[in-house]
Chains A and B, each alone.
Chain A
Amino acid sequence: MRNKTFHSLLYFLAFWLFVGLSFILTNINTLDSSMHTKLFEAMPHSGVTHEVTAVLLNFRALDTLLEVGVILLSLIAIHALEPNFRYTPLSFENTITNTFVAILFPLIALYAFYILYSGSYQSGGAFSASALLAGGIIILRLVKPRSFFVPKELILRFLYVSGLFYFVCVGMISLFFGSFLEYRDYIASFYIISIESVLMLSLGAILSAYFINAVQRVKP
């Protein structure tokens, strides 16, 4: 009975929170566009023509660096918990799924590379591409065809860290010419593309490891 009154009080409060918040937020003034004009003034020096990629990997690159650090930390925490939840997963291996994956996975990988390199002039970029690649690897791991091989743990760990490591290395190199992660105009394009490529491989490995670690087969 007490639970019921608590719930009705909660729904009442939630309704008034909804009304109040929507009243405030629909009457809000849009922010002034000084940041916007500054961004468009700085675009020719960024090395790419798509604004979102320029913001992510040039103007606010430190944010992206820390984000990759957060993703890596989350993977390390999952590895620490891993012995608790291993179980034998479903296995779907037969001729139909093998053929399906053999056709599908190369297409997904190709599409991921296309999205990565089109990120410099249109929508796309390292994060979407790495998510696509991770999805492809997850499908591959679920079907587990005979040609699928698991790399050694040491190689995988190197792959997980490589994105953050390369990013920090580029930051250190840029320290010789200016401040941390601030590129010169003529080399910015090369740096951005190379960071995106390494990030795609490393983030794809990390995001698929989130899933694969959970369904790993118990060693007999």
Chain B
Amino acid sequence: MLFIITGVALFVLGLLGVIVHKEFLRKLISLNVFTSGIFLIFVSTTTREDIADPIVIALVLTGLVVTLGASAFAMMLIRAYAKESIKESDNV
């Protein structure tokens, strides 16, 4: 119950952060908070009698690893973007 409300709050906070911030790095951090909220909701709605469902745990584990891959790629894209924008401002 408490876990579900916290998960929803983290979801909303992450969504707000993705919309409000201008910087890409802050958007990425907020996106990570957002996925954490979704995982928290997903695990806590399927937990019964203090034992989490193994199928759900396997799915969320897959999700964690894929999130890491996606955010690593996103960080490299941010670096490449910053470098390119400097080159363009030098040319002008």
Contacts and interface: CB of A to CB of B under 8 A. Distances in A.
A in complex with B: yes
Interface in B17-31: 19-20
Nearest to A67: B62
Interface residues of A, number: 40
B80 A22 contact: no
Given A22-B4, A85-B80, A10 B53 contact: no
Interface stretch (A13-21, A92-100, A151-159): A13-21
B92 interface: no
Interface string A57-93: 0001001100100110011011001101100000000
Given A10-B20, A70-B66, A85 B9 contact: no
| Chain A contact surface mostly | helix
Contacts of B41: 25
A35 B75 CA distance: 38
Contact of B4 (A25, A52, A214): A25
Contacts of A36: 53, 55
A27 to B, nearest CB: 10
Contacts of A28: 45
B11 A81 contact: no
Interface residues of B, number: 39
A64 B65 CA distance: 10
A114 to B, nearest CB: 19
Given A26-B4, A55-B54, A84 B20 contact: no
B46 A30 contact: yes
B76 A78 contact: yes
A196 B49 CA distance: 31
Interface string B34-48: 000000010001101
Given A21-B12, A36-B53, A52 B58 contact: yes
A127 interface: yes
Interface in B48-70: 48, 53-55, 57-59, 61-62, 64-66, 68-70
Interface of A: 7, 10-11, 14, 17-18, 21-22, 25-26, 28, 30-31, 33, 35-36, 39, 51-52, 54-56, 60, 63-64, 67, 70-71, 74-75, 77-78, 81-82, 84-85, 127, 207, 210, 214
